């Protein structure tokens, strides 16, 4: 029996590595559930493996920090030490056993690292008075690049199918891209090419040092945090066309919104990226994709796949439910804490969701 949602259940091949069995990727979601030293917890293991079991074609971890001092929030999964390998290997194996592509998102919070969490001033491309962050020395930028690549190698060793670089939402790679935040005068500042060179060199390093069939994605956001839409379009066009990435993940806050900058208004933010030449590189999008019609509309607009966040919190088996019942719609908000527990969220994650306005009903 055919369904209008059949396009969402077509496989998607990448230039490197495994194909996604469908067009649903679990978005990288902060959940605060890992151990203080970055080791995987049982709660985080259950949360992620349930999504793989529930039919997500690609299951991505939360942002996992590549340096101890790059931690952005409590209970963050770590990928900066071989001490993390045991948990990462167990997680990769369990996700892959469910037929889902297993991916770690690599992250460094930069100036958004809380001082009280990392025990020192946070790091940034340039000194930042508001956050108390200090500028990285040139050799520290080189070490940052190396630690991103080393984290990818570690994920490869653990058995993951690939990694995604977190270059969005004002974290350190986005801080390098921002001409407001990055005021360096050396080879990592000034021109867009210089500011983006950290990302380009990490991509080159991952490709050189991970196995040939290891997939590589990059998350970008085109607005906020001092970013300029025109510049992000240039970076997106370059990484889409040159074939080193398997996919670009555009985090758009809301896939239906118009751009903030006046010169780009009059059409959807998403449309500026779907029209770029992408060669063999795939394009995924994230941003308030809740209903099946929202996901389908993204494919019809020219995207290759979608990242599901809130709806994946609400339903661990969102893809499977839709596959079995074309009339499926996600539950309305707010939901009870007990609903979230049934969907595999540990108590720490449930309490975190209470901080999202209108998400969890009062007990």
Kindly give, in sequence order, each residue whose CB lies less than 8 Å from that of residue 346, ignoring residues fewer than 6 positions away: 31, 33, 41, 43, 44, 46, 47
Per the listing, tokens 């389908």 go with 296
- Say how far apart CA 71 and CA 35 lie, in whole Å: 12
- Say how far apart CA 307 and CA 80 lie, in whole Å: 25
- Burial status of residue 137 (CB atoms within 10 A of its CB: 0-12, 13-18, 19 or more): exposed
Per the listing, tokens 């495994």 go with 18
- Helix, strand, or coil here: 129? coil
Residue numbers in the chain where pLDDT is lower than 70? 1
Nearest residue to 205 (alpha-carbon basis) of 271, 258, 150: 150
Four-residue CA torsion sign, 80, 208, 112, 344: negative
- Say how far apart CA 354 and CA 361 lie, in whole Å: 8
Per the listing, tokens 């209470």 go with 354
User: Are 307 and 285 in contact, with CB atoms under 8 Å apart?
Assistant: yes
pLDDT digit string, tens, across residues 78-119 = 999 999 999 999 999 999 999 999 999 999 999 999 999 999
pLDDT digit string, tens, across residues 144-201 = 999 999 999 999 999 999 999 999 999 999 999 999 999 999 999 999 999 999 999 9
349 CA to centre of own chain = 18
């Amino acid at each position: 029996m055919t369904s209008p949602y059949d396009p969402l259940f077509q496989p998607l091949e990448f230039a490197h590595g495994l194909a996604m069995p469908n067009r649903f990727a679990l978005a990288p979601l902060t959940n605060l559930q890992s151990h203080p030293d970055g080791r995987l917890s049982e709660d985080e293991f259950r949360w992620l493996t349930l999504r793989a079991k529930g039919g997500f074609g690609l299951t991505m971890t939360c942002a996992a920090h590549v340096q101890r001092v790059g931690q952005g929030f409590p209970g963050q999964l770590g990928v900066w030490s071989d001490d993390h390998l045991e948990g990462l290997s167990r997680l990769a194996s369990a996700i892959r056993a469910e037929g889902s592509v297993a991916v770690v998102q690599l992250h460094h919070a930069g100036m958004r690292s809380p001082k009280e969490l990392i025990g020192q001033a946070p790091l940034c491309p340039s000194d930042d008075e508001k956050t108390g962050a200090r500028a990285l020395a040139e050799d520290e930028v080189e070490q940052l690049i190396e630690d991103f690549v080393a984290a990818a190698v570690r994920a490869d060793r653990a058995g993951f199918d690939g990694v995604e670089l977190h270059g969005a939402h004002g974290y350190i790679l986005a801080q390098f891209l921002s001409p407001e935040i990055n005021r360096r005068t050396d080879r990592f500042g000034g021109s867009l090419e210089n500011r983006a060179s950290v990302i380009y060199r990490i991509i080159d390093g991952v490709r050189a040092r991970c196995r040939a069939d290891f997939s590589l994605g990059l998350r970008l956001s085109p607005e906020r945090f001092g970013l300029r839409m025109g510049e992000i379009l240039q970076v997106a066009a370059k990484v889409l066309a040159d074939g080193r990435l398997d996919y670009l993940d555009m985090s758009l806050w809301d896939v239906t919104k118009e751009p903030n900058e006046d010169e780009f208004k009059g059409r959807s933010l998403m449309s500026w990226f779907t029209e770029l030449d992408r060669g063999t590189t795939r394009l995924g999008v994230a941003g308030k994709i809740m209903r099946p019609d929202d996901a389908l509309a993204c494919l019809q607009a020219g995207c290759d796949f979608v990242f599901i966040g809130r709806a994946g919190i609400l339903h661990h088996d969102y893809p499977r439910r839709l596959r079995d019942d074309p009339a499926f719609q996600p539950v309305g908000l707010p939901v009870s804490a007990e609903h979230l527990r049934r969907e595999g969220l540990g108590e720490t994650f449930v309490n975190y969701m209470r901080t999202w306005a209108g998400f969890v009903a009062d007990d």
